[in-house]
Amino acid sequence: MMTTTVEATARSRTAPQRPGFFKRLFAEYGQEIVVLAAIVMLFAIVTMVNPRFISANNLTTIFSGNAYIAVAAIGMAMVIVTGNIDVSVGALIGVLATISGSLAVAGYPIWFAWLAPVVVGMAVNAIIGILVAYARIPSIVVTLGALSILRGGLISVTGGTWITDLPPDYLIAQKQIFGLPVPLVFMVVLTLLAAFWMRYTAFGRSLYAIGGNAEAALATGIPIARRTVAVFVIHGAFAGLATILFATQLQVIQSTVPPNLELTVITAAVIGGVSILGGSGTVIGSTLATILFATIGSALIFVNVSAYWLRAVIGLLILATVLADMLRRRGRGA
């Protein structure tokens, strides 16, 4: 009896202790928690300096005015998780916005003007995905080429002219659902659906496997080429949805590529916790990072600091995030 008690005590002492809830939560969503904490702290500090920071108009600008970036970053996060990247998304959104606005002004049904950018975005990115997956051309090379083609073609065809006289029914980003701005609803719903899909479906989990170790993923039977094409197509669909929000938030559409949009989208994914090397990260983080950027940009204005510092701050955040990711990877490999 004594021996049994001693053995049980010894086993209890040597058995590995299961990490607590908060420790497991931080281990899995550490970067997302840090970004969320930064948003809360920034709101608190700037509000003390200038209470107008939390006015209804400014909150709408922060959460709704940048929702199209968050939606585009969802698809970008999926692409980066697989170990790829897309630097052409900004140019694609510019082209899709011109197509959508032109169809609306030409008298086509509103639903068709909304559907077109989603379908065209999927088609364009299907070509990119095929070149990456089957021609084995690095995604950075393919999307750099696509960036030049889309940007040059857009300026050549439109001459940079603005699209005006948009039908009121077309401007969905200016409408509300249950008293909430449509862009905010889009951003939240799409983020939650994508997060659930990435975490709880075999397809979503396979993207992490591909980005983490492509050879091991192939050995387990994951069709890497087909998955790669599929994730680029999905990314194109999110770019199309982002286009709808971008094109309908104002009364006019400028037929040019939004400046630095592709860098902002990529940065949102990376600072949100998606490893630039692939294999880890969440779309929740990319959405939170987009909100953080918008909060920083607005905060600079309310504390009378030049908004040009936003790019410098984001640059520092990128370096810090990538460095932290590299240190985490080295720690796991040790």
DSSP assignments along 261-318, one per residue: HHHHHHHHHHHTT--TTSS---HHHHHHHHHHHHHHHHHHHHTT--TTHHHHHHHHHH
d(CA 48, CA 44): 6
The whole-number pLDDT of residue 155 equals 84
Nearest to 91 by CA among 49, 53, 131, 121: 121
Residue 59 has pLDDT above 60, yes or no: yes
**Residue 60 pLDDT greater than 50, yes or no:** yes
CA pair distance 310, 320, nearest whole angstrom: 15
Euclidean distance between CA atoms 34 and 40, whole angstroms: 10
**pLDDT tens-digit map of 167-216:** 999 999 999 988 899 999 999 999 999 999 999 999 999 999 999 888 88
Cα separation, 115 vs 51, in Å, equals 41
8 A C-beta contact, residue 46 and residue 52: no
Residue 181 sits at φ, ψ, to 5 deg, of: -60, 140
Which of 334, 213, 217 is closest to 275 using CA atoms? 213
pLDDT tens, residue by residue, 225-264? 999 999 999 999 999 999 999 999 988 888 777 778 898 8
**pTM exceeds 0.85, yes or no:** yes
pLDDT value at residue 10: 46
